[in-house]
Amino acid sequence: MITPLKVLFVLTATLFVGDIILMLFWKLGAERTREPKVMLFANKTVMLTDNLLLGPAAMLTALSGNLLAPRLGLNIYATPALSIAMGSFILSGIVWSLFLIPTQKKQLKLCADLGEGRELPEQYFQLAARWRNWGYLAAFLVVFSLFLVAAN
């Protein structure tokens, strides 16, 4: 049973981290264009991949990691590095839920409500800066967490 769990853990962790990094660059690249249609498409894509990939991959990564660790002789909660990794992973989810998702929804609404030929309001770019800051923090927490897991 260890091999399928390892495969599931590695696959979902890869999807999880890959989605975070890819969507971060996708969104930042779209915002550099300052083209409302491009940013609307990017925001829709980020929301779609969050729902289809990021959320499920996060849950399956956590589940498979918690099932795999004892089978490998590891106690997540008695191993300091793994406890910190779990805390970092959970904190990234909190940042995602409390800051990134609501900000993305506001940005998507601003893009969708924009008439043809109009420029995005300054509020969009203020939200973009907020999203970047919280996004970098969430990405760092995830990478840090997976680094600790890999090191153990």
Give the per-residue pLDDT at 14: 93
Measured over the CA atoms of residue 109, residue 106, residue 29 and residue 142, the dihedral's sign is negative
Split at pLDDT 50, 70, 90, the class of 147 is: very high
Give the per-residue pLDDT at 123: 95
Give the per-residue pLDDT at 112: 86
pLDDT in tens, 18-65: 998 888 888 889 999 988 889 889 999 999 999 999 999 999 999 999
Give the per-residue pLDDT at 84: 96
Give the per-residue pLDDT at 119: 85
Split at pLDDT 50, 70, 90, the class of 116 is: confident
How far apart are alpha carbons 35 and 57 in whole angstroms?
A: 31
Domain layout of the chain by residue ranges: 2-151
DSSP letter, residue 74: -
Instruction: Classify residue 83 as exposed, middle or buried by CB count within 10 Å of its CB (0-12, 13-18, 19+).
Output: middle
pLDDT in tens, 72-104: 898 988 999 999 999 999 999 999 999 999 999
